[in-house]
Amino acid sequence: MNRADFDFVRSLVKQRSAIVLDDGKEYLADARLAPVAHQQGFASVDELVRQLRTRLSNDLSRRVVEAMATNETSFFRDGNPFEALRKHILPALIERRSAERTLRIWCAACSTGQEPYSVAMLLREHFPQLQGWRISLLASDLGIGVLDHARTGRYSQLEVNRGLPPTMLEKYFQRCATVGRAGTAEYQIDDSLRTTVDFRPINLIEPWPAMAPFDIVMLRNVLIYFDAETRKTVLRRILSLMRPDAYLLLGGSENSMHLADRMEPVQLGPFTCCRLRIPRPETRDPRSK
Ligand SMILES: C[S@@+](CC[C@H](N)C(=O)[O-])C[C@H]1O[C@@H](n2cnc3c(N)ncnc32)[C@H](O)[C@@H]1O
């Protein structure tokens, strides 16, 4: 891809998703757009970009933006956040919400669904006392393709091999009668779990639907693709949708430094999560009169 085409693609991607494509990523654009060009009947990526530059179709732009997003994910990704949920966050929230018996969880930027399904399995596996509670598990992403995949709850052998403990595979999935496109086995998550997750398209940089505040927000491995200003804006908007004692879980290389005045890190075992800063009563300097 030549420089001018790359600049066009990256400004389109930035404008529609906030994802920043660094200099020198032409090879990445070529590799990710080749399947789109093929599916859409273009002879090459160059031809696809030429078409976009001549007439900016919404559908084609969406496909290009989605193809340029990194959808890397896995079940129980990174382990520690899920241990923190199991050992600290959920027990504390269950105690604090015991009168209202509601819990609201949002996995923003959920990709193909492994993250919210991991939360659903964890709730089912370790918190039987939540039976009869109103649990809302919202999972969103900007990608229509990844959300379609997530809604099916169907995963390849490779996908289940990544992070899903064999006991959970056995307990919560059924092996499909047909094989997948790669000719390997596929597994279907139980309907009783699949239907607990509400998958919705939400672009983090566009207006969001009206939503009640959440107890837990998982915003993992997406801020890294944005510039500092966008990270701050997204965090500020997320914050406005968190209950005062809610928990925000970010990815391993992300933090809430951008809103250090309003959020503070809290160490939960080996995992650091973020909470709203609790306004502390001003302490008077005893020497002042
Ligand atoms: C690397 S995946 C992270 C998936 C999951 N949270 C995890 O940690 O395993 C990043 C996801 O962010 C989504 N994404 C990127 N920009 C977005 C935006 N502006 N709004 C919503 N989702 C976005 C991508 O489509 C992609 O599925």
Give the closest residue (by CA) to ligand 1 atom 13.
109
Span from the CA of 142 to the centroid of ligand 1 (angstroms) = 7
Query: At which residue do the structure tokens 């027990």 appear?
Result: 91
Q: 271: Cβ–Cβ under 8 A, 6 or more apart, which residues?
A: 80, 81, 83, 84
| Range 117-138 average pLDDT | 97
In the predicted model, is pLDDT for residue 289 greater than 50?
Answer: no
Domains along the chain with CATH numbers = 3-68 (1.10.155.10), 80-151+191-276 (3.40.50.150)
Q: How wide is the angle at C-alpha 198 spanned by C-alphas 101 and 127, nearest 5°?
A: 40
Cβ 30 vs Cβ 1: under 8 Å: yes
User: Over the stretch 66-118, which tens digit does the pLDDT of each residue have?
Assistant: 999 999 999 999 999 999 999 999 999 999 999 999 999 999 999 999 999 99
Question: Which atom number of ligand 1 is nearest to the Cα of residue 205?
Answer: 19
239 closest CA partner among 205, 274, 269, 267: 274
Give the closest residue (by CA) to ligand 1 atom 12.
109
Ligand 1 touching residue 221 (CB < 6 A): yes
Cβ 160 vs Cβ 167: under 8 Å: no
CA 74 to chain centre: 11
In the predicted model, is pLDDT for residue 259 greater than 80?
Answer: no
In the predicted model, is pLDDT for residue 284 greater than 60?
Answer: no
Positive/negative CA dihedral, 244, 268, 111, 155: negative
Mean pLDDT of the chain: 93
Tokens representing 78?
């990174």
Stretch (H or E) spanning 276 = strand 271-276
The band of 287, judged by pLDDT with boundaries at 50, 70 and 90, is low
The band of 256, judged by pLDDT with boundaries at 50, 70 and 90, is confident
Span from the CA of 152 to the centroid of ligand 1 (angstroms) = 18
Span from the CA of 257 to the centroid of ligand 1 (angstroms) = 20
Percent of the chain with pLDDT over 70: 96
Q: Helix 45-54 crosses helix 58-68 at what angle (to 10 degrees)? A: 130
Ligand 1 pocket test, pick from 85, 111, 202 with the greatest ligand atom count within 8 Å of Cβ, gives 111
Distance CA(266)–CA(273), nearest Å, equals: 5
Q: Is the pTM of this model over 0.85?
A: yes
Span from the CA of 201 to the centroid of ligand 1 (angstroms) = 11
